[in-house]
């Protein structure tokens, strides 16, 4: 092994391994250890000297030993030094796989025709090819029986089964990961537990401006069907998450409420719809009709477009205020 790697590779590799280990264990913050701690630099230089010295010593010992040998031993030493044992096995295996006869034995397999001096050898099929061929035959038989006699699931069926399983897993995951909701996936929550949680959040954070029954005060009435920033779960969720128009007093709650909490409080305040608050604030904004937002062609909801529009409006209001 020693002879396979020359010393001009061995020394730097060892040196950098040791330097790496030192760098790993010495706590030097952002800077390299040998810059931060000069003693480390001294240590590394010492290591380098020692590595070179070891190489030199080993080299000269080998030289002295060599000189002390007789001629025959010298020859054996040189031979052993030049021998690379690892590759012999591979070479033998390679020859076996090719299955060729050595040139000396070619006489045994020569065919007895002769075309103007061109002769032909009757070589065996190379074992690598032959066994590969047998393997394909076995594979073919197994394949045919499995898929054409016993009709095992092909790739399409396998795909469908896996797909079905994955869909189920996603359902399962979504059930346990309500916190993943965002503006695109939010839906009205109807669970009593979610609504109760929403009520609690509303009472802690929102009643000051919207009143406990949603009648409104500093903030608008949430019980009527008029919305400034758009009704429906997606718009409401978006308003709570991103806040109202600048300077109106409705902050973005996404920093203090989790997505699930915003979905819960959105769902809760939408239960105010149709109730009559004790002290309702006059209606602001436009009447929101959920159905009007359905794209009649695809039946797809287009809330996002509406949000875009609202955003454009609020942005332009913002600039209007700025100037």
- If phi > 0 it is left, if psi is from -120 to 50 it is alpha, else beta; for residue 214 that is left
Cβ closest to ligand HEC, residue 57 vs residue 218: 218
Instruction: Decide: is 240 part of the binding site for ligand HEC (CB under 6 A).
Output: yes
What sign for the dihedral angle of Cα 9, 10, 11, 16? positive
Q: How far apart are CA 289 and CA 215, in angstroms?
A: 20
Q: Which stretch binds ligand HEC (CB under 6 A): 44-52, 55-63, 129-137, 223-231?
A: 223-231
CB of 223 to ligand HEC, least distance (A): 11
What sign for the dihedral angle of Cα 54, 57, 63, 67? negative
Among 40, 189, 197, 229, binds ligand HEC (CB under 6 A): 229
Cβ closest to ligand HEC, residue 280 vs residue 285: 285
Instruction: State how far the alpha carbon of 126 is from the alpha carbons of 87, 120, 282, in Å.
Output: 21, 16, 94
Instruction: State the pairing for strand pair 286-287/118-121.
Output: unpaired
CB of 23 to ligand HEC, least distance (A): 51
Q: How far apart are CA 272 and CA 212, in angstroms?
A: 10
What residues between 284 and 323 interact with ligand HEC by CB under 6 A?
A: 285
CB of 268 to ligand HEC, least distance (A): 8
Cβ closest to ligand HEC, residue 51 vs residue 240: 240
Among 40, 223, 236, 263, binds ligand HEC (CB under 6 A): 236
Cβ closest to ligand HEC, residue 58 vs residue 208: 208
The angle subtended at Cα 251 by Cα 267 and Cα 212, nearest 5°, is 45
Cβ closest to ligand HEC, residue 33 vs residue 210: 210
Contact 197, 264 (CB under 8 A): yes
Instruction: Decide: is 101 part of the binding site for ligand HEC (CB under 6 A).
Output: no
Instruction: Decide: is 237 part of the binding site for ligand HEC (CB under 6 A).
Output: no
**3-state class (DSSP) for residue 183:** coil
What residues between 247 and 276 interact with ligand HEC by CB under 6 A?
A: 248-250, 253, 265, 269
Per-residue x/- mask for ligand HEC, residues 17 to 56, rule CB under 6 A? ----------------------------------------
Task: Tell me which residue has its CB nearest to ligand HEC.
Answer: 244
CB of 322 to ligand HEC, least distance (A): 16
Instruction: Decide: is 177 part of the binding site for ligand HEC (CB under 6 A).
Output: no
Q: How many residues bind ligand HEC (CB under 6 A)?
A: 25
Write out the two tokens for 77. 């030493």
Residues paired with residue 226 on neighbouring β-strands, in sequence order: 287
Cβ closest to ligand HEC, residue 92 vs residue 318: 318
Within the chain, residue ranges assigned H as helices are: 7-25, 33-36, 38-68, 71-82, 85-98, 127-144, 155-176, 192-205, 207-210, 232-242, 259-270, 303-322
Q: What is the DSSP string of 48-66?
A: HHHHHHHHHHHHHHHHHHH
Cβ closest to ligand HEC, residue 22 vs residue 216: 216
Interface residues with ligand HEC (CB under 6 A)?
Answer: 202, 205-206, 208-210, 218-220, 222, 227-229, 236, 239-240, 244-245, 248-250, 253, 265, 269, 285
């Amino acid at each position: 092994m020693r002879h396979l790697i020359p010393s001009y590779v061995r020394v730097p590799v060892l040196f950098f391994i040791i330097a790496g280990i030192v760098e790993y264990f010495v706590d030097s913050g952002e800077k390299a250890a040998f810059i931060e701690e000069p003693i480390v630099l001294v240590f590394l230089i010492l290591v380098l000297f020692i590595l070179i010295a070891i190489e030199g010593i080993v080299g000269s010992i080998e030289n002295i030993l060599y000189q002390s040998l007789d001629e025959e031993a010298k020859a054996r030493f040189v031979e052993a030094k030049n021998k690379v044992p690892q590759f012999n096995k591979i070479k033998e295996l390679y020859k076996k796989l090719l299955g060729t006869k050595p040139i000396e034995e070619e006489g045994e397999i020569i065919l007895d025709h002769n075309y103007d001096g061109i002769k032909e050898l009757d070589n065996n099929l190379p074992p690598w090819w032959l066994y590969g061929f047998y393997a394909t035959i076995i594979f073919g038989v197994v394949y045919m029986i499995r898929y054409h006699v016993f009709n095992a699931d092909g790739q399409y069926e396998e795909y469908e089964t896996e797909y079905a399983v994955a869909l189920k897993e996603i359902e399962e995951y979504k059930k346990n990961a309500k916190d993943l909701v965002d503006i695109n996936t939010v839906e009205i929550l109807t669970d009593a537990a979610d609504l109760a949680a929403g009520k609690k959040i509303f009472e802690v954070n929102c009643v000051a401006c919207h009143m406990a029954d949603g009648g409104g005060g500093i903030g608008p009435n949430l019980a009527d069907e008029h919305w400034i920033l758009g009704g429906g779960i997606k718009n409401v969720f978006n308003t709570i998450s991103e806040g109202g128009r600048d300077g109106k007093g409705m902050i973005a709650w996404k920093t203090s409420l989790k997505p699930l909490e915003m979905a819960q409080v959105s769902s809760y305040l939408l239960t105010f719809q149709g109730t009559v608050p004790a002290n309702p604030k006059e209606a602001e904004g436009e009447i929101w009709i959920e159905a009007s937002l359905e794209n009649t062609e695809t039946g797809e909801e287009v809330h996002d477009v509406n949000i875009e529009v609202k955003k454009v409006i609020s942005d332009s209001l913002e600039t209007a205020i700025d100037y």
